[in-house]
């Protein structure tokens, strides 16, 4: 029987929701204040969930320090205290909505965490995006 382990990470970042294919007026109509020229910030909570059978000796799916180092190296250090539109190469070509950020973080982590089930990104207490195997 498999189990799922979820670890939480925190980072602060700013972004601007702005689709270059839309005019300034269309962006403002679509994204409201989130389209403001200088952007705005969030204190994000990133949950990374892995699944599997715990090691019979250690009891871990993956040693906690290993999981932390992978997520820190491949996501958190790249985005913490950054402007997601301008400062993060792997996010430059997307509109950094919570939905697309969750997907991009999953895609970045999956090759390094084969047991990755899903990524959950809390942008605000009311706005949460989940990407991955949702039935797991």
- Which of the following is catalytic: 15, 78, 122, 123? 123
Domain count, the chain: 1
pTM over 0.75: yes
Catalytic residue among 34, 42, 47, 83: 34
- The label of the residue with tokens 């005019």 reads 23
For the question of residue 107 being annotated catalytic, the response is no
End-to-end CA distance of the chain: 12
Domain extent for 107 = 3-132
Q: How many CA atoms lie within 13 A of 88 on its CB side?
A: 26
Is residue 136 predicted with pLDDT exceeding 70? no
Choosing from 73, 81, 86, 107, the catalytic residue is 81
Q: Is 81 a catalytic residue?
A: yes
pLDDT, tens digit, 9 for 90 and up, residues 80-104: 999 999 999 999 999 999 999 999 9
The four Cα atoms 73, 74, 77, 82 give a dihedral, to 10 degrees, of 170
The enclosing domain of 88 has a CATH number of 3.30.479.10
Could you report the per-residue pLDDT of 6-32, keeping only the tens digit for each?
A: 999 999 999 999 999 999 999 999 999
User: Is 34 annotated in the active site?
Assistant: yes
């Amino acid at each position: 029987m498999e189990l799922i382990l979820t670890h939480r990470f925190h980072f602060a970042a700013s972004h601007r929701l702005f689709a270059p294919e839309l005019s300034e007026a269309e962006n403002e109509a679509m994204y409201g204040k989130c389209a403001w020229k200088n952007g705005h910030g969030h204190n994000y909570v990133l949950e990374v969930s892995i699944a599997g059978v715990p090691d019979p000796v250690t009891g871990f799916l993956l040693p906690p320090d290993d999981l932390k180092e992978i997520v820190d190296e491949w996501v958190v250090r790249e985005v913490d205290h950054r402007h997601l539109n301008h400062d993060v190469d792997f996010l430059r070509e997307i509109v950094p909505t919570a939905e697309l950020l969750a997907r991009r973080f999953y895609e970045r982590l999956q090759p390094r965490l084969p047991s990755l089930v899903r990524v959950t990104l809390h942008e605000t207490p009311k706005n949460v995006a989940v990407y991955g195997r949702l039935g797991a």
